[in-house]
Chains A and B, each alone.
Chain A
Amino acid sequence: MADKLKLAYFLSGGCGGCDMAIVDLSETLIDVLPNLEVVFWAPTVADVKYKDLEAMPDKSIDLGLYSGMVRLGEQEHIAKVMRAKCKALVAWGACAALGGIPGMGNMHTKEEIFKTAYFDTYSTDNPDGIVPQTRCVVDGKYELTLPEFYDYVRPLNEVVDVDYYIGGCPPHHSFVGQAILAVLEGKLPPPGSWITGGKAVCDVCKRNPATEGEEREPITAVKRTIDGTPEEGKCVLQEGYLCLGPVTQGDCGALCPKVNIPCRGCGGPIPGVKDFGLRAIAAIAASLANEELVDQIPSPVKLFYRYSLPASMLGKKVK
């Protein structure tokens, strides 16, 4: 079949969870597979090398999914190659779209990270003070190289142009199916958009007081998830568990609140929001009953920017 959709997938700085989200399609994937030709899926699924991808003609791949943020030179290189070879490039999942969990590393310098990873951790024994180098020569003749570790984490769109964004850590598999079908059928929003249902987590959450016709009251306590158990069927935010559902895209179907866990914002900002964390600050702070509660919020940067620090306006710690 000549008109199969050619798919390339690259797992960059992510954890592989987004790959799993595709595999989790299970039977749906079997329906879709006859229409797909996987030309590149590194390093997890297909045994295709970087040089094979580099040798493909430009714009020869219909769809490229790039999961994971960009921290290393290697990741940046493949991002550029993917951009050249793919007609449409998708930032697949929270890391590629926003920086993700590894993006919280932007609160620390490269030096701090190296010091912790290669010197300070309890299990590390490094008497010679060896840290990764981009190249070294072994036995005077073998040159070995490592990708450069950049100073900061970047989301994909700071390295190359991105056509579409999909949030989620990982994207929910039912939504993955919808997104792939949308691509197959050509029903895509304008380039540069998020592929999303456009609704907030609260909109699809069964705990939302509005579903019972109840009013939302000011929040009178700040709780962590270890403090007790939320009341069955009641809004977790209302009880003081800081849930970011009001500003997060609900393509997941409010999975976390369903199981008593407040939303942490992996789905990405609802349409129209540029800086997820700042909008979350506005939403949460304005819901609190008094100023004293604000000071009880633990570690606010890593709460509000858990998935989106590199894509935020400041992007990293200032100094």
Chain B
Amino acid sequence: MSDWTPNIVVFACNWCTYQGADLAGSLRYGYPSTVNIIRVPCSGRVEPEFIVAALKNGADGVFVGGCHPGDCHYKEGNYKAIRRFILLKRVLTSMGVEPERVRLEWISGSEGKRFAEVMAEFDKTIREIGPSPIGRDGNGR
């Protein structure tokens, strides 16, 4: 258990959160190396299947980052994203997945510092709740 490090998947929207991550790098704000970023065109592109597939394939936490409400490059992708996310979170909670394992935040391209802070915070949360039970008890198929 002591040598366990979390595996965190971050779906970052190309127009805001990914730019925020880029800025964090340019400004030399460190964030945990457990974070694996996957760039997507929009947070609305992140289907519930992606999140569950990440959990099933060994992710201990899944993070979705999008543009602030009103700022979506495609006008309403982030509104669709949050509705799907809330519903998925309800379903996952009922199915016994800790709700803290999945998180959605709006991080803009200018919020490099906030990106680094949120990542550190999410990493801390996942370390506290421990390894994901999915796929370790025969759930994974």
Chain A contact residues, CB within 8 Å of chain B: 107, 158, 274-275, 277-279, 281-282, 284-286, 288, 290-291, 294-295, 297, 300-301, 304, 313-319
A146 to chain B, nearest CB (A): 24
Q: Are A282 and B52 in contact (CB under 8 A)?
A: no
Determine the distance from Cα of A311 to Cα of B43 in the docked complex, in whole angstroms: 27
Q: Are B87 and A300 in contact (CB under 8 A)?
A: yes
The verdict on B39 contacting chain A, using a C-beta distance below 8 Å, is no
B53 to chain A, nearest CB (A): 7
Residues of B within 8 A of A314 (CB): 52, 56, 95, 97, 134, 139
Partner of A318 from B48, B53, B83, B97 at Cβ < 8 Å? B97
Q: Are B80 and A285 in contact (CB under 8 A)?
A: yes
Chain B contact residues, CB within 8 Å of chain A: 44, 47-49, 52-53, 56, 80, 82-84, 86-88, 90-91, 94-97, 133-134, 137, 139, 141
What DSSP secondary structure best describes chain A's contact surface?
helix
Q: Are A300 and B91 in contact (CB under 8 A)?
A: yes
A273 to chain B, nearest CB (A): 8
Q: Are A304 and B91 in contact (CB under 8 A)?
A: yes
Partner of A294 from B56, B86, B94 at Cβ < 8 Å? B86
Determine the distance from Cα of A297 to Cα of B86 in the docked complex, in whole angstroms: 11
Determine the distance from Cα of A109 to Cα of B97 in the docked complex, in whole angstroms: 16
Q: Are B49 and A313 in contact (CB under 8 A)?
A: yes
A271 to chain B, nearest CB (A): 15
Residues of A within 8 A of B80 (CB): 285-286
Partner of A278 from B48, B94, B133 at Cβ < 8 Å? B48
Q: Are B96 and A319 in contact (CB under 8 A)?
A: yes
B140 to chain A, nearest CB (A): 9
Of chain A, the residue at the smallest CB distance from B56 is A313
